[in-house]
Chains A and B, each alone.
Chain A
């Protein structure tokens, strides 16, 4: 693994189903983030984690949950998907906090029908 990876690349999901998007980084970064990107709205922060064991809510957290059991992994779970969660999801990591450059994963394109 080099950098930050996400899985799956894309997914079509039926409404009401549970889905976990995976994110793994090998840079030993403390901070990790989940964003969704929708046309005309830019990147919106869903949840973040300053360091392993801690998480926080971003701008649009409803319907999503995260965990940070270790430094490398930061999965995002949709407990019961709805069509409005159709989006492109980017995971990012940074060495420290908001003054540090964020490195983004390749993204997951999720469609909820």
Chain B
């Protein structure tokens, strides 16, 4: 079957670092995406990993381990505007489909 798990909610403090984990089980893995979604808005692309390792992009980094079916999104120097939902999604070679997790709501407090 196909399944993506990520925590429902997390809270962190402004200026801190937070790691949002994602585990997945899927057939025909074809890359892992992270999207950010502010309340009432559309998801927007953050990162894409297809090979194992860490991809860094400014304050955001994403890590992938294909053998463990595991990814994390690392947010550094948290800002209030980072309060949003973060969606983990897996590209699936079984048809033109991307499977999304339920998302992790991150609350950044002062």
Residues of A within 8 A of B (CB): 31, 33, 35, 40-45, 48, 50, 56, 58, 90, 97-99, 101-107
Residue of A44, A58, A90 near B43 (CB, 8 A) is A90
Q: Is the interface of B mostly helix, strand, loop or mixed?
A: strand
A102–B48 CA distance with the chains assembled, in angstroms: 11
A-B contact count (CB 8 A): 60
List chain A residues, Cβ under 8 A from B61: none
Q: List 11 A-B contacts (CB under 8 A).
A: A31-B96, A41-B102, A45-B97, A45-B99, A58-B97, A98-B31, A98-B92, A101-B33, A101-B48, A104-B42, A107-B41
Nearest residue in A to B44 (C-beta to C-beta)? A104
Interface string of B86-99 (1 = CB under 8 A from A): 01010111011111
Question: Is B100 a contact partner of A99 (Cβ separation < 8 A)?
Answer: no
Nearest residue in B to A103 (C-beta to C-beta)? B45
CB distance from B46 to the nearest CB of A (A): 10
A56–B45 CA distance with the chains assembled, in angstroms: 24
Question: Is B101 a contact partner of A42 (Cβ separation < 8 A)?
Answer: yes
Nearest residue in A to B103 (C-beta to C-beta)? A42
List chain A residues, Cβ under 8 A from B35: 102
Which chain B residues numbered 49 to 81 have a C-beta less than 8 Å away from chain A? 50
List chain A residues, Cβ under 8 A from B92: 98
CB distance from A96 to the nearest CB of B (A): 8
A103–B92 CA distance with the chains assembled, in angstroms: 17
List chain B residues, Cβ under 8 A from A56: 95-96
Interface: B21 (CB within 8 A) = no
List chain A residues, Cβ under 8 A from B23: none
Known: A98-B98, A104-B43. 12 other contacts (CB 8 A): A33-B98, A58-B97, A99-B30, A99-B31, A99-B91, A101-B33, A101-B45, A102-B43, A102-B45, A102-B98, A107-B41, A107-B42
A104–B46 CA distance with the chains assembled, in angstroms: 13
